[in-house]
Chains A and B, each alone.
Chain A
Amino acid sequence: GQNIDQPTEMTATEGAIVQINCTYQTSGFNGLFWYQQHAGEAPTFLSYNVLDGLEEKGRFSSFLSRSKGYSYLLLKELQMKDSASYLCAVSPRSGGYQKVTFGTGTKLQVIP
């Protein structure tokens, strides 16, 4: 089975940097997604990590350590519009139907 842990809530200041952690325990692992979800809206895809290391996409970066079952999403130069929930989701090893399991999400509040 899959077990995914994320902090429930975080608060950070506009212009700052915030790191949102995600740990997972899984019987099989292919990669890890990060999605952003504004309140009452649909989740939208941010990143997918398969290999260990940091991948950067503008202000957002995502890190993965497969051996530690650990990922984080790094948001730089925070803006008020970054206030949202951030969902990590695990994709099991490839082959056949693959169900993605979502964590419960981290609600980020950006304050002035």
Chain B
Amino acid sequence: EAQVTQNPRYLITVTGKKLTVTCSQNMNHEYMSWYRQDPGLGLRQIYYSMNVEVTDKGDVPEGYKVSRKEKRNFPLILESPSPNQTSLYFCASREGHEGNQPQHFGDGTRLSIL
């Protein structure tokens, strides 16, 4: 089954404790992206990657890091989480670079930073 898998689904942690949210897709997609979703603000892009070792900032990259060492994996790293990073996070992938292709989303990760 074609899917995007995120882990963990839920996490409560404390300010400053480094965490990683993993994302993996089994569709051999080139493009992957991370979004955060907050009430009233919609989906906002954090980082994206057009292929292995190619990553770039989205609209709200501050406080986040990513890596793309393998095509299937695109982890999101919070080196020193803060309460304003409490949010619902989605990883997404699509086949290529063109924006006319639909994205496939993971089930989401709900992060609470205390």
Q: Are B100 and A91 in contact (CB under 8 A)?
A: yes
B67-101 to A contact mask, C-beta < 8 Å, 1/0: 00000000000000000000010100000011110
Q: Are B100 and A43 in contact (CB under 8 A)?
A: no
User: What is the distance, in angstroms, from B14's C-beta to the closest C-beta of chain A?
Assistant: 24
Contacts of A50 in B (CB 8 A): 100
Q: Are A43 and B105 in contact (CB under 8 A)?
A: yes
User: What is the distance, in angstroms, from B98's C-beta to the closest C-beta of chain A?
Assistant: 6
Q: Are A98 and B98 in contact (CB under 8 A)?
A: yes
How many residues of chain A are within 8 Å of chain B by beta carbon?
Answer: 25
A-B pairs with beta carbons under 8 A, tally: 59
Interface size class of B (residues with CB under 8 A): 20 to 34
CB contact between B105 and one of A30, A31, A42, A103 (< 8 Å): that residue: A42
B45 at interface (Cβ–Cβ under 8 A)? Answer: yes
- The SS class assigned to the A binding surface is loop
Contacts of A99 in B (CB 8 A): 45, 48, 58, 99
Give residues in A with beta carbon < 8 Å to B: 30-31, 33, 40-45, 48, 50, 87, 89, 91-92, 94, 96-100, 102-105
Give residues in B with beta carbon < 8 Å to A: 35, 40-45, 48, 50, 56, 58, 88, 90, 97-100, 102-108, 110
What 4 pairs across the A-B complex have the smallest Cβ distances? A98-B99, A91-B99, A42-B105, A104-B42
